[in-house]
Amino acid sequence: MKVTIDGIEIEVEPGTTVLQAARMIGGDVVPPAMCYYSKLKDTGGNCRACLVEVSKGSEADPRPMPKMMPSCKTGVMDGMEVKVKTSERALDARKAVTEFLLINHPLDCPVCDQAGECDLQNLSFKHGLEKTRFKEEKRTFEPENIGDKIQLHMNRCILCYRCVHTAEQVCGSRNHGVLNRGDHAQISTYVSAAIDHEMSGNMIDVCPVGALTDKTFRFKSRVWFNKPFDAHRNCDKCCGKTTLWMFGNEIQRVTARKDEFHEVEEFICNECRFDHKEVSDWVIEGPRKFEKWSVINQSNYTRKMDKVVIDTEKQILEGRDQDRKKISMKEVPYKTSEK
Amino acid sequence: MSIQNTSLSGRKKQVSNKEMTLGERLYIGAIAGGMATTFKHLFKKKVTINYPEETRPFSPVYRGQHMLMRDEEGRERCTACGLCALSCPAEAITMKAAERKPEEKHLYREEKYAEIYEINMLRCIYCGLCEEACPKQAIYLTKSKKIVKADTNREHFIFGKEQLVMPLDQAIQNTAKSE
């Protein structure tokens, strides 16, 4: 099947969605996705951030689709033509969606541990307004304790349902879900039961915002002060391939490796994530690279950093060795004949 | 006109090497002239001040010692987001965040606060980028009306929260003003 996205033609299998086709092309044409997660089934269609304009339905029916289509749920048709960044309408829609997503988002990025690797932050940085037009009160929830490993901030949740799908598909047993409807909808464990499945930590990685964060990393450091390293260990429950977020010699956080679309490459177990915080537990492969624009690059982790040693006292009091050999210094005799 | 005689700046002068007269060689006239200039300055306004007893008023755009602000209720505004440290070109700022306990709500504005906040004043170049980066209006270089004094010990230049946070009496004044 042939599909044209922003003038770039690509051949894909039947059954691929427009978003997947765009991701195959890569680069600028990939629409942002807040709820769709390629590693999980049935995700997508909630956030509307990936809306695209279909300017030609298919070869058989070339009429354009009247409404914006969510690219994560729209299957490709032969000869389909899609406009992503070339369409004014699609960009306008994305702007509007961003504004809607931010309506109930508390904008506490200075406090939030997700800041710096947050999908909503990236989205609003690219498409958001500088000022909010929302005058009403934002929805707030009572803080709820859902266990000692995962921190839930319901105020920040954008109801993408990714964590619910993770609980269903990765953890097998679902012990948390979405309660109530509309403005009152909230992610919750039923009767505040702690999430204790051995893969439950993946909900932290899957969450596009800071609604589910690592409690063991809470307020420890900002993301961009850590140096991320790829590492692995032998684990019988998962692949054991992780990213370590180091500060000096201390492992502050362990996450799964995330690809260019901020989706985990492979899910990891809670033992790897929470219980192994010693450098000796891991085989460190090397620094993990991020996009050029990412704030994480701030910590200059890819360069080898030599430890700076300044011998203050000696330098200040006596000066450098080579300087002391100069004429004005006592060590060098004044007359050349005295040498 | 040749290049040797041209004065591009217009200030080129021909140096004369003429013989001085006897009157000029006595230098009395020149000395008297010099003394007159000195004497004239006795009656002029002094351009210097007796620092540190006296200080000059700060210019409105001066940048001096940082101050970590408190809000109208006297709570610390800083939430240890790390943006000042991120923006600092001299890497002078270090901080460690901590979680606010329920009984400390009157002390800190946000859920998270800076437990340790240090600025190395020897590294600081007073560029004001931290002030610009701060999303909480917590750090200002213009509010303390102080400049960092000289010292002989390097360690004394690492200012902690005790030197940087707005003093309580000033916070009380602020609160009174806003009410």
- The residue ranges of DSSP E strands in chain B, in sequence order, are 67-68, 93-99, 112-120, 139-140, 158-159
Domains and CATH numbers, chain A: 2-100 (3.10.20.740), 136-218 (3.30.70.20), 220-305 (no CATH)
**Closest-CA distance of chain B to residue A10, Å:** 41
Token pair listed for A303: 């360069």
Two tokens, residue B46: 């002094």
Q: Are A152 and A37 in contact (CB under 8 A)?
A: no
Structural domain that includes position B132: 67-178
Compare CB distances from B79 to A110, A220, A312 and report the shortest one's residue: A110
B3 within domain boundaries:
no
Closest residue in chain B to residue A298, using alpha carbons only:
B86
| Residue B125 maps to a domain | yes
Q: Considering just the CA atoms, what is the radius of gyration of chain B in Å? A: 28
The C-alpha atoms of residue A143 and residue A152 are separated, in whole angstroms, by 8
pTM for this model (two decimals): 0.79
Residue set of the binding site of B for [4Fe-4S] cluster: 78, 81, 84, 88, 124, 127, 130, 134
CA distances from A77 to A69, A99, A186, A214, A313 (A): 13, 31, 36, 41, 74
pLDDT in tens, A36-56: 999 998 888 888 999 999 999
Query: pLDDT tens string for chain B (179 positions)?
Result: 566 667 777 787 778 888 889 988 999 999 999 999 999 999 999 889 998 898 888 888 889 999 999 988 889 999 999 999 999 999 899 999 999 998 999 999 988 999 999 999 999 999 999 999 999 999 999 988 888 988 888 888 999 999 999 998 888 888 877 66
Residue among B82, B99, B154 minimizing CB distance to A222: B82
User: Looking at the DSSP assignment, which residues form a beta bridge with residue B46?
Assistant: none
Question: Does residue A69 carry a pLDDT above 60?
Answer: yes
The answer to whether residue B160 is domain-embedded is yes
Residue B16 within any structural domain of the chain: no
Q: Are A244 and A227 in contact (CB under 8 A)?
A: no
Could you give the residue ranges of the DSSP H alpha helices within A77-209?
Answer: 88-103, 119-127, 162-169, 202-206
**B79 and A115: CB-CB below 8 Å?**
no
| Distance in Å, alpha carbon of A64 to nearest chain B alpha carbon | 45
Distance CA(A267)–CA(A245), nearest Å, equals 17
For residue B73, give the CATH number of its domain: 3.30.70.3270
User: Nearest Cβ partner of B112 from A111, A225, A312?
Assistant: A111
Residue B163 lies in a domain: yes
Decide if B124 is inside a domain: yes
- The whole-angstrom separation of Cα A75 and Cα A80 is 10
In a domain, B108, yes or no: yes
Give the pLDDT confidence score for residue B36 in this predicted structure.
Answer: 97
CA–CA min distance B32, chain A (Å): 41
| Contact between chains at A222 and B110 (C-beta distance less than 8 A) | no
Number of domains in chain B: 1
In 3D space, the residue among A31, A28, A26, A27 whose CA is nearest the CA of residue A54 turns out to be: A31
Task: List Cβ neighbours of A223 (8 Å cut-off, separation of 6 or more).
Answer: A113, A114, A115, A116, A117, A245, A295, A296
Does some domain include residue B1?
Answer: no
- Residue A233 in contact with residue A272, Cβ under 8 Å? yes
